[in-house]
Amino acid sequence: MKHPYAQLAIALVSGLVFGFGLSLSGMLNPQRVQGFLDIFGVWDPSLAFVLGGAVVVATFGVQIMRISSHPVLEPRYHVPTNKKIDAPLILGSAIFGIGWGLGGLCPGPAVALLSMGSVKPTVFVVCMLAGMQVHDRLLRTSQTSDPPIDLQLRR
């Protein structure tokens, strides 16, 4: 049984908590991210602490998932089944890292920065979405194991 309004509400609350956490930790500042990537200059380790905190929280989520039969609002968990490290994974990771390093923005902070109306994050997000569209239209295979969750509200 689908609960589209509850799913949407949880997605919105989750996004707000995520955005607040990014802002509170200073990760909306591209100089912080670039400082973390500047290992031969003035290295800023703050991103490592944010990532470490995320791993701790995610670990609890994975443990809850393992002991429960299904999520509260879905009949099953949507977990990737592909566990192999292949060329598309490595190439995609490298392209992601290059974009992250050049722009100083990760997708989450970039989307959060859209609310501030700045040009740089807007250009970044538009280009990121364009890249996703290029991938989906030209390169995506029909081998995806799990379609995206449909959050369209039906009447």
pLDDT in tens, the chain (155 residues): 567 899 899 989 998 898 888 889 888 888 888 888 888 999 999 989 999 999 999 999 999 999 998 888 888 888 888 889 999 889 989 998 888 888 888 888 888 888 888 898 999 999 999 988 988 888 775 445 455 544 444 43
Q: Domain residues for 100?
A: 4-139
For residue 53, what pLDDT is reported?
92
Place of tokens 């390093």: 101
Work out how many domains the chain is built from and give that number.
Answer: 1
- Beta carbons of 149 and 7 less than 8 angstroms apart: yes
User: Does some domain include residue 153?
Assistant: no
Residue 151 lies in a domain: no
**Is 115 among the domain residues?**
yes
Helices (H) and strands (E) in the chain, counts: 6, 0
The answer as to whether 130 is a domain residue is yes
**Residue 8 within any structural domain of the chain:** yes
Report yes or no: 5 and 145 within 8 Å, Cβ to Cβ.
no
pTM exceeds 0.85, yes or no: no
Predicted confidence at residue 144, as pLDDT, reads: 52
